[in-house]
Chains A and B, each alone.
Chain A
């Protein structure tokens, strides 16, 4: 097309809804998450509180847990059970998860007492709640694949509960291979995707104002971010 070289030409193309599915996807992405919202350079003054830090602390410890988990996967159980560096990385994996759960619970309490689902943030709350459930499952399957008496005892106890609710035949906690796959493939994938969605939703809506405060006036923001999607 001849008019696509000039910026006004691009605008015409966008307005004309041309470009097939790639064009439609681009228009959708830019409309819902314009760059100013995706990577903002300012935040409202009410964000200056420690309680807003716990979401990022949760992300950070999740990153350490996933990274150390990848190292464990590269080296294998002979390494993480026997060598001192292996035991150290194994411990980093465990303790980053302890911190992850710790920070996530404080984050959850903070958002609960702020009623942070206000202002079209229900999906942020719900993706967070499902993140919590997925984390419990990931931690649980992690304990099941320790290959020690602890994991044997935990799976022995858990199998009765899971049989009682009728899913034991399909989700078999005594099946080491299946639990390892849930722990290192399925649940981390779900948790990673949910976390990305959760954080993008926060960027899209902006952080929630305290209960009695007003969000910054739309005209104080740039024209692009003022439009509520």
Chain B
């Protein structure tokens, strides 16, 4: 029981033991996992452009 607990705590946060989920949009077909990664990249890109950069030394 204790061992099972330890394993379940270490288990992947998403259950991967099934075929992936896909979205279909006309001829476009993409897995939800890839879509999430693209969404995260867009978010991080927007954050990188908008968030202020801490002031540093040694700049002209």
User: Is B37's beta carbon under 8 Å from chain A?
Assistant: yes
In whole Å, how far is A213's beta carbon from the nearest beta carbon of chain B? 12
Closest residue of chain A to B40, judged by CB?
A102
- Bound complex: CA A45 to CA B53 (Å): 11
Q: Give 5 nearest A-B pairs by CB, closest first.
A: A50-B48, A48-B53, A51-B48, A106-B45, A45-B59
Q: Which of A36-44, A164-172, A174-182 contacts B (4 or more CB under 8 A)?
A: A36-44
A42 in contact with B59 (CB, 8 Å): yes
CB<8 Å pairs between A and B, sample of 16 = A42-B58, A43-B59, A43-B60, A44-B59, A44-B60, A45-B59, A45-B60, A48-B55, A50-B47, A50-B51, A51-B45, A102-B41, A106-B44, A106-B48, A109-B41, A110-B49
Quick one: closest B residue to A217, CB to CB?
Answer: B60
4 new A-B contacts at CB < 8 Å, known A43-B59, A43-B60, A49-B48: A50-B49, A51-B48, A54-B48, A220-B60
| Interface hits, A199-229 → B, CB 8 Å | 216, 220
Complex: chain B residue closest to A52, CB-CB: B53
Residues of A within 8 A of B (CB): 41-45, 47-51, 53-54, 102, 105-106, 109-110, 216, 220
Is the beta-carbon distance between A43 and B58 smaller than 8 angstroms? yes
Give A216's nearest chain B residue, CB to CB.
Answer: B60
Looking at the assembled complex, report how far the CB atom of A85 sits from the nearest CB atom of chain B, in whole angstroms: 15
User: Smallest CB-CB separation from A48: which chain B residue?
Assistant: B53
Shortest CB-to-CB span from B43 to chain A, Å, is 10
Kindly state whether residue B56 has any CB partner on chain A within 8 Å.
Answer: yes
Q: Which of B40, B45, B47: most chain A CB closer than 10 A?
A: B45
Query: In the complex, which residues of chain A have a beta carbon less than 8 angstroms from the beta carbon of B59?
Result: 42-45, 47-48
Task: Indicate the member of B41, B48, B49, B53 with the most A CB atoms within 10 Å.
Answer: B48
Residues of B within 8 A of A42 (CB): 58-60
> In chain A, what residue has the closest Cβ to B53?
A48
* Chain B contacts for A43, CB-based, 8 A: 58-60
> Which residues from chain B contact A216 at a C-beta distance below 8 Å?
60
Give CA–CA (A216, B59) in the complex, Å.
11
Chain A residues within an 8 Å CB radius of B58: 41-43
The answer to whether B41 and A106 have CB atoms under 8 Å apart is: yes
Chain A neighbourhood of B60, CB < 8 A = 42-45, 216, 220
B37 contacts across to A, CB distance below 8 A: 102
CA distance A105 to B38 in the complex (A): 10
